[in-house]
Amino acid sequence: MVEVKQIPPAGEPGTNGAAGHTKGSGQDESQPIAAPSGPVYQPRYAHIVGWGYHVPAKVITNQDLEQIVDTNDEWIRTRTGIAERHVAADPKETSVTLAVAAARKALEVADVPASKLDLIICSTTTPEYSFPATACLIQDALGAHNAGAFDLSAACSGFVYGLSMARGQILAGDAEYVLVIGTETLSRIVDWTDRETCILFGDGAGAVLVAASEVPGGILAVDLGSDGSGGDTLIVPAGGSAMPTSLETVSSGMHYIKMDGKAVFRFATRVMASATRKVLDRAGFTTDEVDLVVPHQANIRIIQNSVLNQLKIPADKVFVNLERYGNTSTASIPIALCEAIEAGKLKPGYKVVFVGFGAGLTWAACAIDWRTPVEKQSTDWWKSTRRQATYGAAAARSMWKRAVRWVYDVLPTDPEAPARDDGKEREKDKIPQEAPVKEPARSKEQG
Ligand code: ACO
Q: Please report, for the chain, the start and end positions of each structural domain, with discontinuous segments joined by +.
A: 33-239+254-377, 382-426
* Ligand 1 atom 26 nearest Cα: 262
How far is residue 317's CA from residue 288's CA, in Å, rounded to a whole number?
10
296 is catalytic: yes
User: What number of CA atoms fall less than 13 Å from residue 198's CA on the CB side?
Assistant: 20
Q: What is the pLDDT of residues 322-348, one digit of tens each?
A: 999 999 999 999 999 999 999 999 999
For the residues of 75-88, what is the DSSP string, one character each? HHHHHH---EEE--
Spacing of C-alpha 239 from chain mean position: 21
pLDDT at 384: 87
Q: What is the pLDDT of residues 28-46, one digit of tens each?
A: 444 554 555 666 678 899 9
* Ligand 1 atom 8 nearest Cα: 196
327 is catalytic: yes
pLDDT confidence band for 377 (50 / 70 / 90): confident
Distances (CA, A) of 86 to 59, 184, 322, 404: 4, 11, 11, 39
| Contact between residue 58 and residue 89 where contact means Cβ atoms under 8 Å apart | yes
**Residue whose C-alpha is closest to residue 144's, from 400, 398, 399:** 398
Which of 156, 198, 338, 366 is catalytic? The answer is 156
What angle is formed at CA 262 by the lines to CA 257 and CA 264, rounded to 5 degrees? 60
Beta strand spans in 233-361 (E): 234-235, 258-259, 292-295, 351-358
* Pocket flag, ligand 1, residue 298 (CB < 6 Å): yes
* Pocket flag, ligand 1, residue 117 (CB < 6 Å): no
Asked if the model's pLDDT at residue 392 lies above 50, the reply is: yes
21 is catalytic: no
Fold of the domain built from segment(s) 33-239+254-377: Peroxisomal Thiolase; Chain A, domain 1 (3.40.47)
Q: Give the least confident one: 49-58, 282-291, 413-422.
A: 413-422
Phi, psi of 344 (to 5 degrees): 75, 25
Distances (CA, A) of 190 to 16, 50, 89, 245, 268: 44, 31, 13, 17, 21
From the CA of 260, how far away is ligand 1's center (Å)?
8
